[in-house]
Structure 1
């Protein structure tokens, strides 16, 4: 294995000059820089990335914490963040907290041990105080899909409450009054915000909130069919269901089909997220478009701006969902 000492000997310079040249120090004379890189090319020397990080205080890597590697939500986020940072010659190191407080803390510790320069963070489990400590450790941090006032310009989030409102309003305007709601885990802030949007729409149109019409499901696939059957067995006269993500809506389609109910005729369903498969369901699912790509791109741009000392006022930190009308809602 070729060492920095061998490079220095061939270039006839000191080892410290080689180190400074590798790390781009302006103090290195141009003739010495040329000699160093000529020697590196001849020897095929590969500098140790960790040693470079220690010397320059830069690793050219950005960390990303996600809740899980499963499902259609985090995949696009990871893809688009990585695409943006690679354009600036940064590598993305991704770890999952598995929606567990201790594992999220452990994951952040792992990323810090990798000497990351910046961090893209998604977290439902860490408290605001925990996240503020993370930002103290890694100032170039952007938070996705969550808002903390103390770091407001470093939070890229979608107005989930507005999404819940326009989904419910669409059903109300179609004539529905008994509207069921299947939430995601209520430990998740976006689930609580979407539910609040549902309640806001009911209040706006003078419809009393009925807790019997609401049941907690999950944003993944576990147990949603059971929750939906329980909701429909309550004999509450529902004519429509607002599902707080498209995975829940997919389960609702299955339960309705098993009960001989035709979606878009016997019962109306609205989803949330506008995952790719929603347009291919039968009938195509009316859903709320979540601008995942925009959120990922703005967060990645924010981290790069922070690393480059650029202002964040060019970053769009507040995103708005839109309604995608398809065939799963019937006017009554």
Structure 2
């Protein structure tokens, strides 16, 4: 037998208050007397009333949900990022809706349209293909907006990124401080700002140590696993003088480990490596991988906090640039 749906009218009659009072209690409005508040909560509990969430959202112009656009729904980067953001929002009574753009311009636009259709109160956007102008236009669609891994001057208070240039600098400087001068670099896709910034850090560190930047020692790879083995092999074939490589993420470094294994080269002996991200796997590789840490969980948590601040209209947070740190392990040999 189907359970009877309890209405606001029945709650009001049971509590001996007006329907308007019940509505104010359900929507969390402050203008309800303490005595009536207790009566309504008692009625809701005893009758087993479940609020109509759609009606509640309509009455309050809030859906109590936040959307997030990411590049992928798997992997060691997006997983912790989504988890941290959801945790921060769930603790404050918000539901979380995630969609993926799969590094495709049209899919990113479709994902934004999907979040808009769900009438989310705020959106956390990690987009690879949307332009700055397209991202700025999103302020008209969402009450709150946070853009990840991008800095846009017109969205100064809504951007959250990592200092990737500093990370590339720290990685390369560590190799230079250990006596290496023939240092190659395997980048991520140079269409991505973080890959370009990490390359700039590499170039800056070389310049500070009086080493001329050689474009032949740089090759473009990918942040996922596709094709990096061949890119690493091609780079090592270009120059027999390479003693070290800065890999722009740990997936790239993993491919270099594989190339070294096929050529009977030892990482941390014949070839030194510094990477980026500090994925879980980096300390389980042998030798353990020296890598620049990306505070992914902190980024997700901060993104959630920034959304909440905007919805509360406190706007205390300005743009945030997270600072990377170098995790020194065993993949770098000190040269005389």
C-alpha deviation, 1:257, in angstroms: 0.9
Preserved CA contact (<8 Å) 1:298 1:316: no
Residue 162 of structure 2 is matched in structure 1 by 158
1:2 aligned to which of 2, 5, 10: 5
In 2, Cα distance between the equivalents of 1:284 and 1:324?
Answer: 10
Preserved CA contact (<8 Å) 2:156 2:319: no
Residue 118 of structure 1 is matched in structure 2 by 122
2:303 aligned to which of 299, 302, 312: 299
1:326 aligned to which of 313, 320, 329: 329
Q: In the alignment, is residue 44 of structure 1 matched against residue 48 of structure 2? A: yes
In 2, Cα distance between the equivalents of 1:112 and 1:250?
Answer: 39
Residue 209 of structure 1 is matched in structure 2 by 213
Residue 241 of structure 1 is matched in structure 2 by 245
Residue 273 of structure 1 is matched in structure 2 by 277
Residue 83 of structure 2 is matched in structure 1 by 79
Preserved CA contact (<8 Å) 2:244 2:271: yes
Q: Which one is further off, 290-299 or 164-173?
A: 290-299
**1:92-132 residue CA offsets vs partner (Å, 9 max, x unmatched):** 22111111111112212212222212222211211111111
C-alpha deviation, 1:81, in angstroms: 1.2
C-alpha deviation, 1:15, in angstroms: 4.6
Q: Which one is further off, 39-48 or 213-222?
A: 39-48
Preserved CA contact (<8 Å) 1:212 1:236: no
Cα distance change of structure 1 residues 169 and 25 upon mapping to structure 2, 3 Å threshold: closer
Q: How does 1:227-266 map to 2 (within 5 A)?
A: 227-266=231-270
Q: Helix, strand or coil for the counterpart of 2:98?
A: strand
What is the Cα-based RMSD across aligned positions, in Å?
A: 2.0
Unaligned runs of 5+ in 1: none
TM-score (norm 2): 0.92
Residue 58 of structure 2 is matched in structure 1 by 54
Preserved CA contact (<8 Å) 1:8 1:14: yes
Q: How does 1:167-246 map to 2 (within 5 A)?
A: 167-246=171-250
In 2, Cα distance between the equivalents of 1:206 and 1:139?
Answer: 49
In 1, Cα distance between the equivalents of 2:82 and 2:127?
Answer: 14
Cα distance change of structure 1 residues 27 and 167 upon mapping to structure 2, 3 Å threshold: closer
Preserved CA contact (<8 Å) 2:184 2:242: yes
**1:22-43 residue CA offsets vs partner (Å, 9 max, x unmatched):** 1133455555544543333233
Residue 144 of structure 2 is matched in structure 1 by 140
Q: Helix, strand or coil for the counterpart of 2:67?
A: strand
Q: Helix, strand or coil for the counterpart of 1:197?
A: helix
C-alpha deviation, 1:293, in angstroms: 2.1
C-alpha deviation, 1:268, in angstroms: 0.5
C-alpha deviation, 1:265, in angstroms: 0.5
2:112 aligned to which of 93, 105, 108: 108
**1:36-90 residue CA offsets vs partner (Å, 9 max, x unmatched):** 4333323322112122111111122111111111210111111111121222122
Aligned length: 331
Q: In the alignment, is residue 25 of structure 1 matched against residue 47 of structure 2? A: no
Unaligned runs of 5+ in 2: none
Q: Helix, strand or coil for the counterpart of 1:241?
A: strand
